């Protein structure tokens, strides 16, 4: 009887884990679609130091931490809710406020 109870408990636990496990979340993509899309103002030309974009996306915080840029400098061109915070939430870092 005890083995049956343990088997049922394990099956129930596995079923609940699978049933309530978070679903896949789309990675934020520049000019993508959906709620995680990164939208930048097309009228603003990207500065030269943003090239290549892949490198800049991974290392932009290094420039802020070194003091090369202040977070407020970024906000001249970027709107936090449409071009910063989707990625920040995705990777689990502090969101940007105005």
Residue ranges of domains in the chain: 25-98
Q: Is residue 8 predicted with pLDDT exceeding 90?
A: yes
Going from the C-alpha of 93 to that of each of 38, 85, 88, 89, the distances in angstroms are 16, 9, 5, 6
Helix (H) or strand (E) holding 88: helix 85-91
pTM: 0.61
* pLDDT 10s digits, 76-98: 888 888 888 888 888 888 888 76
* pLDDT 10s digits, 20-77: 887 777 778 777 777 778 877 777 777 887 888 888 888 888 988 899 888 888 888 8
Q: What pLDDT score does 98 carry?
A: 62
Sign of the dihedral through C-alpha 79, 82, 86, 87:
negative
Q: What pLDDT score does 83 carry?
A: 80
Q: Is residue 11 predicted with pLDDT exceeding 90?
A: yes
């Amino acid at each position: 009887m005890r083995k049956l109870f343990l088997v049922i408990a394990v099956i129930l636990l596995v079923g609940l884990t699978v049933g309530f496990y978070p679903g896949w979340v789309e990675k934020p993509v520049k000019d993508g679609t959906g709620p995680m899309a990164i939208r930048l103002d097309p009228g603003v030309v990207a500065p030269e130091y943003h090239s290549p974009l892949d490198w800049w996306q991974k290392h932009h915080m290094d420039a802020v931490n070194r003091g090369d840029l202040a977070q407020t400098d970024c906000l001249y061109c970027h709107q936090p809710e449409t071009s910063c915070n989707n990625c920040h939430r995705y990777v689990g870092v502090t969101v940007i406020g105005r």
